[in-house]
Amino acid sequence: MRGPATGNPRMSNELFVGLIGQKFMGRAHSNAWGQVNRFFDLPRRVELQAACGRDADELAAFSARFGWKTHTTRWEDLASDPKLDLVDVATPNHLHLAPAIAALEAGKHVACEKPLAGTLGEARQLRDAAKKAKRSKTFVWFNYRRCPAVALARQLIQEGKLGEIHHVRAQYLQSWGGPDTPLSWRFQKKQAGSGAHGDLNAHIVDLARFLTGDEIGEIHGAVARTFVQERGIPGTDKKGKSDVDDTVLFLASFRGGAVASFEASRVATGHLNANQIELNGDKGALRFSFESMNELWFHDATLGPRTAGWRRIVATSTAGEHPYAANWWPDAHVLGYEHGFTNMAADIVRSIAGIEPVVALPDFADAYETQRVLEAALVSAKERIAVRLSEIR
């Protein structure tokens, strides 16, 4: 069992976690760490040791609410704390680099929100730092992999139920980014790196890579648009510049031959959180939509035209051996958004203990490959050219 940063062995069944970030993702991660041992039988018990955030006025209340034992406004305190086994970075994109590298250099495991970084260059630094830190494991919170329906889709594809995949169609559509939405870090390139692209396309690119088990080889064309170029600054009557994309669409090919389309938007009127993907193969097809996250649709083309058709699978059955289902509720008592994070927290604990996760966990090297695809699409949109992934390093 891995010891603390001092290198002294710790014969303990506890996993001491520190969290950096106290807003949306800080809440999601805190909830996951706090409930994971209540629902999963794991080799180590998670201890919520320390929380870090920039808003000192709210930090104490946040820590108390979610059960963190101590709190600090300095991420350096977490990176240097010899008691911590894992540091979880749940900050805006431009703040991932320094604390993650410091924690790795201190011999800790590191979990990081997606995308891995605001820029490809920073993502590369994180990948390289993880490679050097041989005693540490890294994880990236692509939480949608751990919806039972998505994990089941991966299993069915691995079993050959789709045969050779020809076509991947992925969309992530939201509508919250209209002109009345105030300015925040998510709309500023220096902090976010990109807009809907890094926020939403990151998820569906990861899903496509995860489900197919294949890598994207070329971006054939892309378009990026910023529809709202100024937004109100909260607490003032002034406006500030919004300089990230509101929507990005691109076409791609996988190395194995499948073609793919990706579409992300924060201004897709009528859509709340429409994260959806469909894969078509020569033996079958699968489709998933997060707004019906407990359902997976499967078409078995081997049945022939007399009986073939789309079949609805409610992926909540213990008897059906649906991934993660046995840890939660009776059949069709359905899971929600927060359960994907808890399922991932469980797999992180398993991985640190040397146990295989239910489905593959993305590490920094894996997330870097997704970031390369995102970068290639932005280059394609800006230059109006096709871009081979071999050109993006």
How confident is the model at residue 9, as a pLDDT?
36
CB count within 10 Å of CB 169 equals 17
Point out which residues pair with 225 in neighbouring strands. Answer: 247
Q: Are 156 and 323 in contact (CB under 8 A)?
A: no
Which residue from 127, 203, 216 is spatially nearest to 172, judged by alpha carbons? Answer: 203
pLDDT digit string, tens, across residues 101-150 = 999 999 999 999 999 999 999 999 999 999 999 899 999 999 999 999 99
CA nearest to 298, candidates 279, 285, 281: 285
Angstrom distance (rounded) from CA 19 to CA 71: 9
User: What value does the mean pLDDT take over residues 365-392?
Assistant: 98
Percentage of residues in the chain having pLDDT higher than 70: 97
Mean pLDDT on 37-44? 98
Q: What is the pTM of this model?
A: 0.94
**How does strand 165-173 pair with strand 310-314?**
unpaired
Q: How is residue 174 written in tokens?
A: 């939201």
User: Residues 332-361: pLDDT tens digits?
Assistant: 999 999 999 999 999 999 999 999 999 999
User: pLDDT value at position 329?
Assistant: 97
CATH architecture of 14-140: 3-Layer(aba) Sandwich (3.40)
pLDDT at 335: 97
Give Cα separations from 371 to 116, 201, 278 (angstroms): 7, 10, 21
* pLDDT reported for residue 282: 97
51: Cβ–Cβ under 8 A, 6 or more apart, which residues?
A: 18, 19, 22, 26, 30, 59, 62, 63, 66, 68, 70, 71, 72
| CATH architecture designation of domain 145-332+362-383 | 2-Layer Sandwich (3.30)
Cis peptide preceding 115, ω within 30 of 0 = yes
Instruction: Please give the mean pLDDT across all residues of the chain.
Output: 95
- Name the more confident of 304 and 40: 40
- Residue where the block lists tokens 């295989």: 356
**b or e along 118-131 (b: 16 or more beta carbons within 10 Å of the residue's beta carbon)?**
bbbebbbbbbebbe
Amino acid 4: pLDDT: 38
**Tell me, what's the pLDDT at 7?**
37
Instruction: Over range 56-61, report the average pLDDT.
Output: 95
Dist. CA 64–CA 30, nearest whole Å = 11
CA within 13 Å, CB half, 22? 24
| Per-residue confidence (pLDDT) for residue 8, from 0 to 100 | 34
* 268 in Cβ contact with 178 (< 8 Å): no
- The gap from C-alpha 110 to its chain's centroid, in whole angstroms, comes to 14
HEC string of 192-225? HCCCHHHHHHHHHHHHHHHHHCCCEEEEEEEEEE
- Tell me the per-residue pLDDT of 167-178, one tens digit each, with 9 for 90 and over: 999 999 999 999
Order across the sheet with 138-140: list the strands.
70-72, 45-52, 14-20, 86-89, 109-112, 138-140
**What pLDDT does 205 receive?**
98
Q: So where are the chain's domains?
A: 14-140, 145-332+362-383
Q: What is the pLDDT of residues 284-303, one digit of tens each?
A: 999 999 999 999 999 999 99
Does position 3 have pLDDT exceeding 70, yes or no?
A: no
Is 10's pLDDT higher than 70?
A: no
Task: Dump pLDDT digits (tens) for 263-279.
Answer: 999 999 999 999 999 99
pLDDT at 184 over 60: yes
Spatial neighbors of 8 by CB under 8 A, at least 6 apart, are: none
CATH fold match for the domains 14-140 and 145-332+362-383: no
Query: Per-residue pLDDT averaged across 251-269, rounded?
Result: 98
d(Cα 127, Cα 96) in Å, to the nearest integer? Answer: 12
With 80 as the cut, is the pLDDT of residue 11 above it?
no
